[in-house]
Amino acid sequence: MTAAGGGDATFVLVHSPLVGPFTWSAVAEVLRERGHDVSVPALSGTAAPFWRAHAESVAAALRGPTHRPLVLVAHSGAGALLPAIGAAIPERPKAAYVFVDAVLPLDGATRLQGLEEEDAEFAAELRAELEAGGRFPTWTAEDLEAVVPDPGSRRALLAELAPRALDYFSEAIPPVPGWPDAPCAYLQFSAPYDVAARRARDRDWRYEHLDAGHFHMLVDPPAVADAVLRLAGGGEGSPF
């Protein structure tokens, strides 16, 4: 991608804080094979405020001599982090923000509050589990068999699983003044993100829908890479 005044962009593929960078590894490989610069930073930070630690860990991975503009791409719960990530590295211009089957920025709400607006029944069940001392997610290979059919990919995904406690889900994520500072787009896979996708469309964001499971990046990486490129570049006439 070539952005005005910025040269070739870097695609930053941000994984959900509940899993790990493996979720983006196959798409990253496709993008690199096509000649794009790609970063897949690992989110770090085990104490509150988690959102700040996660944003700063991405920013730290991107600091260096290059001033390429950034296409920030978030999956799942990482969507709530994109404004903070952008703000954490102001020296790099932003070319686009792409939300992939992801929550939208919470504008000062907690993750649980955001979930309550999207699926009140599941949010109530999750709150009760977390208040009882539980963590989420606790997926098994059987739980993920339908959405990640390849056994090796399932094992790798589960090896990076990062179940979180109540303090993670109940922290407020503050808004970032002036965001968005670049075009936004939404790529939907699954029905649980209908509310987020509708809100993205209501904001006139670019939008595509691949009828698939939540971890479709591990099932059909070329299709996901194609969609991300289209959404980041604005479609017809883009420089990809």
Kind of pairing between the strands at 206-209 and 94-100? unpaired
Architecture per CATH, 2-233:
3-Layer(aba) Sandwich (3.40)
pLDDT in tens, 132-167: 999 999 999 999 999 999 999 999 999 999 999 999
Question: What's the DSSP call for residue 104?
Answer: P
Contacts of 202 (CB under 8 A, 6+ apart): none
- Listed by start position, the domains of the chain span 2-233
Q: How many CB atoms neighbour CB 93 within 10 A?
A: 19
pTM (two decimals): 0.94
Structure tokens at 15: 């994984």
Question: What's the DSSP call for residue 172?
Answer: B
CB 124 within 8 A of CB 118: no
Distance of CA 60 to the CA centre of its chain: 17
Question: What is the reported pLDDT for 8?
Answer: 86
Half-sphere exposure in the Cβ direction for 83 (13 Å, CA): 16
pLDDT in tens, 174-233: 999 999 999 999 999 999 999 999 999 999 999 999 999 999 999 999 999 999 999 998
CB 38 within 8 A of CB 11: yes
CB 101 within 8 A of CB 190: yes
pLDDT in tens, 1-60: 544 333 389 999 999 999 999 999 999 999 999 999 999 999 998 789 999 999 999 999
